[in-house]
C-alpha cells in the first residue's frame, strides 16, 4: 500500500468526519493496512493533518500552473476553484476542517497561513497584471475581498446548499470579480 | 453551580480548543463541578454543542432587538457584529468551530442553518427597508453577499490577523455594505 493511497484515505476521512475523525486506527481501517504501516508513513497526528491539507494546496499550485490565459480569465478560473461546485467538494470540506483546526492549533495555523498567503499573493499579482494602472495596494485589496468572499461562500455551499446553491455562489463570486476588475 | 456558568465553560472550551476539546470531563474540570452536575444540565454531547452555539445566536437576536436606528445604520451595526474585532473573539471562534462541525454532523448542520437562515432573513429585510424601490430578490442577494463576505473575513481575522487585521476587515465589509446600498 503506497503512501499516496494512505494519504487519500486521510483526505477522505477529514472530508467526511472532520479532523476529529482522524486517527491512526481510522486511517488504517479505511486503507486496509496495518496500523504500523500508517505510522511508518505518517508518524504523528500532525503529519496526517499536513497530508490532508495537500488537497487544498493544489488550489495554490494552480496559481503557478502555466495556463495560457489572460490574467482576468485566470482569476475567473481560480475563483471557480475556490467556490465549490457541490456540497460534497472534498477540497472545500478539508479546507473548512483545516480552518477550524487552525483557530485552535498553532502548527496548523502556520500551515494555513502559508497556503492562504500564497493564494492571496497569487490573486493580487493577477489583479495587478489585469489592471496595471492601479496600485499594488489596490490589487492586494481586491485579492483580500475576493478570497474572503469565496471562503464565506464555500462555508455556505457546504452547510446551507438550499439557501446558497453552488451555482448561485459561483455566479455571485464571478459577478463580484468582474466588478473589481471594472 | 448554575446552568449558566457551566454553559460559559462550554463556550470557553469550544473557543479555545474547538469542538474536539469538548467533553463532560473537560467541562466539569473547567467549571469546578462534578461530572454528574454537568450531565444533569447537559445530558448529551449534542446538548453541549447546542449550548455553545447560543453565543452565536445572540448575533441573530440582535437583528430583532428594538434598536432606534435607520435600516442602513442597523445593517452597519450588524456587519460589525459579524466581522470580529479581534482574533480572540469568542462568538467568532465558536461560529467557526460550529461551521466545521456542521459540515460533518447533520444535527449541528440543522441548527447552523436555522441560525444563519435567520441572520440572512434579517439582513435581507433591512436591505429591503433601506432600499424599498428594489426587489425582494435583490435584497436577498445583497444579504447573501454581505453575510458570505463577513464569514470569510471572520475566518481570516481569526487565523491570519497579520494578513487581514480586524480593523481592515471591518472597514472592507463596511465599504462593501455601502456599495450595496448605493
Other C-beta atoms lying within 10 Å of the C-beta of residue B115: 18
Kindly report, residue by residue over B22-58, the tens digit of the pLDDT. 999 999 999 999 999 999 999 988 889 888 888 888 7
Q: How large is the average pLDDT for residues B56-66?
A: 75
Q: How large is the average pLDDT for residues B113-120?
A: 93
Q: What distance in Å separates residue B141's CA from the closest CA in chain A?
A: 9
Asked if residue B116 has pLDDT above 90, the reply is yes
The per-residue pLDDT of chain A, averaged, comes to 92
CA distances to A116, B154, B178 from B98, rounded to whole Å, are 21, 13, 29
Does residue A23 lie within any of the structural domains? Answer: no
Does residue B22 lie within any of the structural domains? Answer: no
Beta-carbon separation of A151 and B150 below 8 A: no
Does residue B13 lie within any of the structural domains? Answer: no
Quick one: pLDDT at residue B57?
85
The predicted complex's ipTM stands at: 0.93
Does residue A139 lie within any of the structural domains? Answer: yes
Does residue B80 lie within any of the structural domains? Answer: yes
Beta-carbon separation of B102 and A159 below 8 A: yes
Distance CA B98, CA B119 (A): 15
Quick one: pLDDT at residue A44?
87
CATH of the domain at A113: 1.10.357.10
Helix (H) or strand (E) holding B6: helix B3-17
Asked if residue B67 has pLDDT above 80, the reply is no
Map grid coordinates 454528574 to a residue.
Answer: B36
The per-residue pLDDT of chain B, averaged, comes to 92
Percentage of residues in chain A with pLDDT exceeding 90?
77
Does residue A30 lie within any of the structural domains? Answer: no
Does residue B41 lie within any of the structural domains? Answer: no
Does residue A16 lie within any of the structural domains? Answer: no
Quick one: pLDDT at residue B84?
94
Domain region containing A157: 53-181
Q: Does B32 touch chain A (CB under 8 A)?
A: no
The alpha-helical segments, DSSP class H, found in chain B are 3-17, 24-31, 35-41, 45-64, 71-82, 90-102, 106-130, 136-159, 166-181
Asked if residues B41 and B10 have their Cβ atoms less than 8 Å apart, the reply is no
Other C-beta atoms lying within 10 Å of the C-beta of residue B39: 14
* Number of domains present in the structure of chain B: 1
Kindly report, residue by residue over A3-56, the tens digit of the pLDDT. 889 999 999 999 999 988 899 999 999 999 999 999 999 998 888 988 888 888
Please give the interface size between A and B, counted as residue pairs whose CB atoms are below 8 Å apart. Answer: 138
Amino acid at each position: 500500500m503506497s503512501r499516496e493511497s494512505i494519504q487519500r484515505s486521510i483526505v477522505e476521512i477529514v472530508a467526511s468526519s472532520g479532523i476529529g475523525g482522524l486517527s491512526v486506527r481510522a486511517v488504517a481501517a479505511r486503507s486496509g493496512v496495518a496500523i504500523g504501516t500508517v505510522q511508518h508513513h505518517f508518524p504523528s497526528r500532525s503529519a496526517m493533518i499536513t497530508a490532508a491539507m495537500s488537497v487544498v494546496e493544489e488550489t495554490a499550485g494552480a496559481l503557478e500552473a502555466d495556463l495560457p490565459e489572460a490574467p482576468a480569465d485566470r482569476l475567473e478560473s481560480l475563483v471557480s476553484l475556490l467556490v465549490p461546485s457541490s456540497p460534497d467538494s472534498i477540497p472545500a470540506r478539508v479546507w473548512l476542517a483545516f480552518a477550524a483546526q487552525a483557530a485552535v492549533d498553532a502548527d496548523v495555523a502556520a500551515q494555513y497561513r502559508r497556503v492562504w498567503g500564497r493564494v492571496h499573493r497569487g490573486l493580487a499579482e493577477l489583479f495587478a497584471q489585469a489592471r496595471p494602472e492601479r496600485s499594488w495596494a489596490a490589487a492586494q485589496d481586491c485579492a483580500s475581498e475576493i478570497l474572503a468572499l469565496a471562503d464565506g461562500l464555500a462555508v455556505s455551499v457546504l452547510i446551507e446548499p438550499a439557501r446558497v446553491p453552488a451555482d448561485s455562489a459561483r455566479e455571485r463570486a464571478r459577478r463580484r470579480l468582474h466588478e473589481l476588475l471594472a
